[in-house]
């Protein structure tokens, strides 16, 4: 994507200072930029201008902690390029300064030899932590959690806990939600810093903490984390392993990123586009082609059924050519109504507004709404039917319209539930799939009605 | 929506206890339920079973603060029903306990007479605050912000600020991000509680604070708040008026709700469904009909152009009926490819990945991708063309496929930018609109090519 104007200006100022070797000017300019903004400038430099050298020089001007922070904001492939041009020594120090979740993500991108070299040079605990975090499957709670949380041993007093918070403050991802763990490492309760601050210093955290903590298992889906964080307005969500031991937290900002990326994924699925690894403006062309072509070609074959249907009714068509005029209208309308119904269900299921149990109730509702929609559209098209082909054709077209819209809407509504039932993502009930199915059925419905009415069978 | 099983069980236990008048049992059961869960049970009671009486009795069992909290989670119309059955006295105390943003929302739902009565009984400052918050237009930063933030007067020391935090803790929406204001109420800087905790008690907040605060104006769109909160990983976003005075904050959980509801709105727009006031399972049928019918009927008329196109080429069709077999396939494929391209652009623009300036670059990319897609699909369909209608028909169908897919994709890609340019929401470039436009163009392209090839014109 293109940079916004102020960022474009920042970029040019930075490049000029870099070219002229004005290190002092850079030290003045760089701290003014937020990590999210600076990383966007660096990303553009690598991806648009292929200028890795400037990126590395600019990163070199940053103190280590900030360098790690900025790096964490960059897309994976850029991080990898930067990492590849760093010495082992430097990369190790940068990794150490990164948040534990970002560290694991970058580590997973490196090739195995480099991973081995780096692991061998790490302290044991650090190594175990990294190996563990890097091992969780993408898309799970484990893969997006961080191990930089504040754990308070059960039995501590409020003032001891407060001391612990102050000690952990520089490294922890958040210090505002504290987790109390028993000697076995199991999650015993939680306490907000706010509660701690207003509590009596001598009180025990065990007496203050909330014991019924909302928690999630490491291998649950990241969508579920996001759903719970949104539902209960959490600042962070504790993640536990199979023995109920606390192993990490997912903070609100990471949960928000999940909501955005899941919505984008569902949008693309809704149009039968496979999951992109990056934004549409950056993903390679070949990948964009592959993600779109599969369903399009499948639908070419599905669409042939409509053709076969038309061939079957050749005599009816030959007898009344005016019927063909209304073909795009009828199948188009059915497809539109069906795609609407499918989208309402898919989105309702994604946000948790619609459950599988609601199926029966929603079917009744859709029947009423789609029936009314079909009638309205039939009334709109009837006069044109009379004009073009006479009353008989008008009757065929109007009847077909009601039937096709009703059928299409019900198909669109039910498909997400059926897919869900067989274990597929309901979002696969995409507009292209739904409209193609309805196209074929629409042809059959239309010409069956036409044959019956016009030939009096 | 239906309740999850554990919530269904909770509901039944609560109702039994209520029926048998076991107040103690209720006092035991109610505190175990989280506000988000209890409110879902109450919502179901009102909407599915029309049992407002039980809802009111259950709310009566809650302490005032929790009652206000649970009420805030309920959908607007249920809040209104509950409020209408409360005495002025009770409603006033509940309003007082609510968060200032939720208070303003509920207040806005009441009829004017009741508003007047309540305002007259409020303290002056409370009244001004409520009137101000209730006055912001829906969808703006002002409408979703809260005035329950921690403001630290410029010039305070760290220990004074810490004292202020402790005092404000019970009422503030968040105490973790503090805002420093000058004597005129202007936003001078911000400081996290974490920074405050590790600072020297005698230091001045003015020397510690970050002066370059990300802020937003009251009348900016709520999407912009959400976008900035997500981009900069903020816990809360300060909102300022036109004189740069701090008037409220939007917290991360409210920003997350905006991301979800904006995504749902865009999904629905993508299928030409108007904005629903509530989830699809709850919104009234009549409203669901109205939100879907407008575009469907408009598209009926747009689709007639395809019909007119077919009528114009009647001779070509009569000469080669096999052409009709491929009609649904060709316009369907063009529509699918176009809807994909439109969705990629619309979503890219919504997440900020695609900017208006990227148009030229993306056009080139789409040209390449769509050309390859069209060629692939043409190759897939060509053998069937030969089978059905001979080589000439196969050539017509294959050429048309490439042209229609290319044209459709470019139309789908450009439409969101064009709409954006004329000031419309790009999401209006919905699948139904794009496919309908492509249907009509597809008919023209197909039969023009057919006429040229088959009649040798």
Question: How far apart, in whole angstroms, are the C-alpha atoms of residue B345 and residue B359?
Answer: 10
CA dihedral B70, B76, B78, B82 (to 10 degrees): 70
Q: Using CA atoms of A31, A164, B200, A34 in order, give the dihedral in degrees to the nearest 10.
A: 10
Helix H or strand E encompassing B180: strand B177-181
What are B180's strand-pairing partners? B152, B189
Contacts of residue A320 in chain B, CB cutoff 8 Å?
none
Check: CB of residue A416 under 8 Å from CB of residue A349: yes
Task: Tell which CATH architecture fits domain A151-254.
Answer: Roll (3.10)
From the CA of A431, how many Å to the nearest CA of chain B? 8
Spell out which residues of chain A touch residue B293, defining contact as CB-CB under 8 Å: 372-373, 376
B263 CB near a chain A CB, below 8 Å? yes
User: Number of residue pairs across A and B with CB atoms under 8 Å?
Assistant: 335
- The CATH code that applies to domain B285-454 is 1.10.357.20
Q: Closest partner residue to B340 among A272, A337, A362, by Cβ?
A: A272
- Interchain CB contact of B372 with A (< 8 Å): yes
Q: Which residue of B has its CA nearest to A278?
A: B353
User: Residue A271: CB partners within 8 Å, gap ≥ 6?
Assistant: A430, A431, A432, B336, B339, B340, B343, B344, B431
CATH of A5-135, one of 3.40.50.280, 3.40.50.720, 1.25.60.10, 1.10.10.1150: 1.25.60.10
Number of H helices, E strands in chain A: 22, 6
A306 touches chain B (CB under 8 A): yes
- Could you tell me what percentage of chain B is helix, strand and coil, using 3-state DSSP and rounding each to the nearest 5? 70, 10, 25
Nearest to A141 by CA among A255, A245, A231, A253: A255
Domain boundary assignment for chain B:
5-135, 151-261, 285-454
Distance CA B343, CA B389 (A): 35
C-alpha neighbours within 13 Å on the C-beta side of residue B159: 3
Q: In CATH, which of 3.10.580.10, 3.40.50.150, 3.40.1390.10, 3.40.1360.10 is domain B151-261?
A: 3.10.580.10
- The list of chain A residues with pLDDT below 50 reads none
Question: Touching check for A296 and chain B: CB below 8 Å?
Answer: yes
Q: Does B123 touch chain A (CB under 8 A)?
A: no
> Within A74-123, where are the H helices?
76-84, 88-97, 100-109, 112-120
Give CA separation, B234 vs B216, B237, B253, in Å.
13, 7, 11
**DSSP H helical ranges for A232-284:** 252-270
Residues B194 and B125: their CA atoms lie apart, in Å, by 31
Q: Is the pLDDT of residue B432 over 90?
A: no
Q: List the one residue out of A141, A87, A142, A76 whose CA is nearest residue A114.
A: A87
Inter-chain contact A377–B296, Cβ cutoff 8 Å? Answer: yes
Which 3 state secondary structure label does DSSP give A63? coil
Q: How far is CA A123 from CA A68, A69, A86, B110, in A?
A: 19, 22, 20, 63
Tell me what pLDDT residue A195 has: 92
Taking CB atoms and an 8 Å limit, are B318 and A314 in contact across chains?
Answer: no
Question: What are residue A181's DSSP bridge partners?
Answer: A153, A187
Of residues B245 and B339, the one with the higher pLDDT is B245
**Using CB atoms and an 8 Å cut-off, which of residues 231-260 of chain A contact chain B?**
231-235, 252-253, 255-257, 259-260
CB B311 within 8 A of CB B378: no
- For residue B195, is pLDDT > 80? yes
- Other C-beta atoms closer than 10 Å to the C-beta of B416 total 29
Rounded distance between C-alpha atoms, residue B236 and residue A176, angstroms: 14
> Which residue does chain A place closest to B287, by CA atoms?
A369
* B343, B346, B402: best to mutate for the A interface, most A CBs within 10 A: B343
Cα separation of B455 and B319, whole Å? 9
- Residue A456 pLDDT: 64
Contact A306 B345 (CB under 8 A): no
Give B 384-403 residues with CB within 8 A of chain A.
384, 388
DSSP class of A173: S
Secondary structure E strands in B154-274: 177-181, 187-192, 216-217, 236-240, 246-251
Alpha helix segments (H runs only) across A271-421: 285-312, 314-319, 322-325, 327-350, 359-421
Q: Alpha-carbon distance B42 to B31, whole Å?
A: 15
Rounded to 5 degrees, what are φ and ψ at A202? -85, -10
Q: Do A347 and B229 touch (CB under 8 A)?
A: no
Q: From the CB of residue A379, how many other CB atoms can be counted at a distance below 10 Å?
A: 14
Is residue A107 less than 8 Å (CB to CB) from chain B? Answer: no
Contact at CB, B296 and A337, closer than 8 angstroms: yes
Query: pLDDT tens-digit profile of B7-56?
Result: 999 999 999 999 998 999 999 999 989 999 999 999 989 888 889 999 99
- The answer to whether B187 and B240 are in contact (CB under 8 A) is yes
| pLDDT at B404 (0 to 100) | 95
> Is B301 an 8 Å CB contact of chain A?
yes
**Cβ B417 vs Cβ B356: under 8 Å:** yes
B151-261 shares the fold of B5-135: no
Angle at which helices B327-350 and B431-454 cross, to 10° = 140
Mean pLDDT value across chain B:
89
Query: Could you tell me if B266 lies within 8 Å of chain A, comparing CB atoms?
Result: yes
With 90 as the cut, is the pLDDT of residue B70 above it? yes
Paired residues of A18 in beta bridges: none
Q: What pLDDT is stored for residue A372 in this prediction?
A: 92
Closest by Cβ to B300, choosing from A166, A343, A381: A381
Containing B338, the helix (H) or strand (E) segment is helix B327-350
Q: Do A273 and B365 touch (CB under 8 A)?
A: no
> How many angstroms away from the CA of A107 is the closest CA of chain B?
23
Q: Residues B363-378, buried b or exposed e (16+ Cβ, 10 A)?
A: eebbeebbebbbebbb
- B242: distance to nearest CA of chain A, Å? 22
Q: CB-based contact (8 Å) between B382 and chain A?
A: no
Task: Return the SS3 of B115.
Answer: helix
A365 → closest Cβ in B285, B345, B443: B285
pLDDT of residue B1: 55
Give the per-residue pLDDT at A428. 67
Q: Does B87 touch chain A (CB under 8 A)?
A: no
The predicted structure's pLDDT at residue A217 = 97
* Whether B194 and A175 lie within 8 Å, measured CB to CB: yes
pLDDT for residue B344 is more than 80: yes
Q: Give bridge partners of residue B333 from the DSSP assignment.
A: none
pLDDT band at B428, cuts 50/70/90? low
Q: Is B140 on the interface with A (CB under 8 A)?
A: no
Neighboring chain A residues of B358 at a CB cutoff of 8 Å: 1-2, 281
What's the pLDDT score for residue B429?
62
Q: How many CA atoms lie within 13 A of B112 on its CB side?
A: 0
Give the integer Cα–Cα distance in Å for B55 and B72: 14
- Asked whether A258 and A222 are in contact (CB, 8 A), the reply is yes
């Amino acid at each position: 994507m293109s940079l916004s104007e102020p960022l474009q200006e920042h970029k040019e100022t930075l490049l000029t200072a870099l070219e002229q070797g004005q290190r002092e000017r850079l030290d003045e300019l760089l701290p003014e930029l937020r990590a999210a903004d600076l990383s966007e400038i660096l990303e553009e430099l690598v991806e648009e201008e292929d200028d890795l050298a400037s990126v590395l020089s600019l990163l070199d001007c940053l103190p280590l902690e900030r360098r790690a922070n900025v790096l964490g904001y960059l897309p994976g492939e850029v991080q990898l390029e930067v990492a590849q041009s760093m010495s082992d020594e430097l990369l190790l120090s940068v990794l150490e300064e990164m948040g534990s979740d970002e560290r694991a993500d970058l580590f997973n991108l490196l090739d195995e030899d480099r991973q081995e070299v780096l692991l061998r040079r790490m302290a044991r605990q650090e190594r175990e932590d990294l190996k563990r975090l890097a091992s969780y499957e993408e898309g799970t709670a484990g893969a997006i959690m961080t191990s930089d949380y504040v754990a308070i041993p059960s039995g501590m007093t409020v003032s001891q806990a407060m001391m612990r918070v102050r000690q952990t403050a520089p490294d922890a991802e958040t210090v505002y939600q504290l987790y109390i763990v028993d000697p076995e490492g199991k999650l015993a309760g939680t306490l907000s810093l706010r509660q701690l601050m207003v509590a009596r210093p001598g009180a025990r955290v065990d007496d203050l903490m909330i014991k019924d903590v909302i928690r999630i298992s490491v291998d649950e889906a990241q969508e579920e984390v996001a759903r719970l964080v949104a539902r209960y307005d959490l600042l962070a969500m504790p993640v536990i392993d199979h023995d109920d031991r606390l192993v990490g937290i997912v903070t609100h900002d990471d949960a928000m990123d999940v909501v955005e990326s899941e919505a984008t994924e569902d949008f693309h699925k809704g149009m039968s586009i496979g999951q992109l690894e990056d934004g549409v403006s950056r993903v390679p062309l070949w990948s964009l082609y592959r993600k779109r072509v599969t369903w399009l070609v499948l639908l070419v074959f599905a669409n042939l059924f409509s053709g076969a249907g038309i061939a079957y009714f050749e005599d009816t068509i030959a007898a009344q050519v005016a019927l063909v005029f209304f073909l795009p209208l009828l199948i188009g309308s059915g497809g539109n109504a069906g795609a609407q119904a499918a989208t309402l269900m898919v989105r309702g299921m994604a946000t948790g507004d619609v459950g599988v149990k609601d199926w029966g109730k929603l079917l009744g509702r859709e029947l009423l709404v789609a029936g009314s929609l079909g009638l309205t559209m039939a009334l709109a098209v009837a006069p044109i039917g009379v004009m073009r082909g006479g009353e008989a054709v008008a009757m065929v077209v109007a009847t077909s319209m009601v039937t096709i819209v009703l059928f299409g809407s019900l198909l669109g509504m039910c498909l997400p539930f059926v897919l869900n039932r067989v274990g597929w993502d309901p979002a696969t009930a995409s507009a292209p799939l739904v409209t193609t199915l309805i196209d074929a059925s629409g042809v059959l419905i239309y010409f069956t009605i036409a044959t019956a009415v016009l030939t009096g069978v």
